[in-house]
Structure 1
């Protein structure tokens, strides 16, 4: 009997955010989704939306930087009898801080959230996928994955580490049938965080100047469905008006 398919997504926050949008999109495609994050209230809000559309979802309270939390997340999926077809690391913590004002605690926290957590998550995902030799592992990156710019140097160091992790894992596990993908989100996502934190910037950009959540999710799904003879391991997504 074939196992039921699932997607595991960590870094699920606001309902109008990328993690939540990926969960809703994958659930609409028939996958049972495990949504993980630190805020139970936000996870419950997303789960309600998924169930209202007829989707199947489980919530797991987890901190991506804590190894036992990440291990527990994947253990739950496996105990439920699901194969993991998609795993998405969507943690994106950023703190603007000029270098001389950045203390070791801030630098380390950014590295843990953006890089160490990805290592813990990626390792568990590969272990869950390797027996079937099938599955897609997404790491959500940023413009900072490719270049550092103050006052985000510490964030960029962490995101560059995430990119290196993804590249190494792609080379190591592609021959085992596991598709590892690093996505560069090169622009501002039109979601709750941007609209609440810098509304004037969002207004100035206009709708066509921001990345739309559903469009990103659609791209993730298209990459997941690629034939293994023509896999994408890194792609950059930006609004057509965004300079680069």
Structure 2
């Protein structure tokens, strides 16, 4: 249950990561990096059992990590996750890493499929982004990061629905950056241009995962280092959009 944020220890910086899935994945890598840098870190996902396993594993590494089960497409659940994070300290860094992808040609993409991907990628990003921007601005500033994809910039078969949703998420990030940067909130959108070397791609897109080869996949820990670098940027030289890809990726 969420607790009263007024009870928080204001001196302790807190990171909040929405979208923590498999053990070998970006969400876990982000949580590990932020906690290792000294931030109390709250991880959020819908799968309670898997989230509990990730919390236990990270805490076994000696990291200050706390799990909160929430659906990022539900307004009340999102607000409760923020309340829980602010119980643990001063909100400093929020990452929207929620993602869902299904491959289907246009004529095989149902209205339900299209709407589901939009809700999970764009609508959820709006809910989390709006909540984060408002709360960080009230605290005097902080960092809000969104995980994008190649599809954020261009659409191709068979990813019509996914690309539409990711492009919309990119627009959410741009609008929030323009509105809240003057209030001290650093909003950045990170384009992951390639396949992440993790369990999600290996399970859901095995042929594509294998075809990239070990040297052609992005390492989760390396991506997490780039996210941390964005958080550390001095406000006179903020990055809004950053693209990350393996050295041998064609672009």
**TM-score normalized with structure 1 length:** 0.96
Aligned to 1:4: 12
SS in 2 for 1:87: strand
Q: Distance in 1 between matches of 2:204 and 2:129?
A: 30
Q: Within the alignment, does 1:15 sit opposite 2:29 as a pair?
A: no
- Give the alignment of 1:135-150 within 5 angstroms: 135-150=142-157
| Post-superposition offset of 1:241 | 0.5
**Does structure 1 residue 61 correspond to structure 2 residue 60?**
no
Tell me the distance in 1 between the aligned counterparts of 2:120 and 2:167: 13
Q: Distance in 2 between matches of 1:11 and 1:190?
A: 16
Matching residue within 168, 171, 174 for 1:161: 168
Greater displacement, 126-135 / 4-13: 126-135
Are 1:86 and 2:55 matched, yes or no? no
Q: Deviations over 1:120-175 (max 9, x none)?
A: 00111112211222211011000000000011011111111000110111111000
> Residue 10 of structure 2 contacts residue 90 of structure 2 at CA under 8 Å; is this kept in 1?
no
Pick one of 175, 179, 189 that aligns with 1:182: 189
What's the CA shift string for 1:67-101, capped at 9, x where partnerless?
111011001122x1511111000011011111122
By how many angstroms is 1:40 displaced?
1.3
User: Which range moves more in the overlay, 175-184 or 81-90?
Assistant: 81-90
CA contact (8 A) 1:85 1:136 kept: yes
Whether the 8 Å CA contact 1:37–1:61 is kept in 2: the answer is yes
Secondary structure of the corresponding residue to residue 43 of structure 2: strand
- Alignment correspondent of 1:209: 216
Matched residue SS, 2:197: coil
Farther-moved stretch of structure 1 (115-124 vs 50-59) = 50-59
Q: Does 1:197 align with 2:204?
A: yes
Decide which of 104, 115, 127 is 1:120's aligned counterpart: 127
Instruction: Tell me if structure 1 keeps the 8 A contact 2:133–2:176.
Output: no
Q: 1:196 offset after TM fit, Å? A: 2.4
| Equivalent residues of 1:27, 1:50 under 8 A apart | no
Residues 19 and 44 in structure 2, CA contact (< 8 A), matched pair in contact too = yes
Q: Is the Cα contact below 8 Å between 1:65 and 1:113 reproduced in 2?
A: yes
Aligned-partner Cα distance in 2 for 1:192–1:50: 17
What is aligned with 2:5?
Answer: none
Contact 1:183/1:237 (<8 A) preserved: yes
Shift of 1:201: 3.4
1:200 Cα deviation from its structure 2 partner: 4.1
Q: Where in structure 1 are there 5+ consecutive unaligned residues?
A: none
Calculate the aligned-residue CA RMSD, in Å.
1.3
Give unmatched runs, 5+ long, in structure 2: 1-8
Aligned length: 243
- Cα distance in 2, alignment partners of residues 180 and 43 from structure 1: 26
- Deviation at 1:197? 3.0
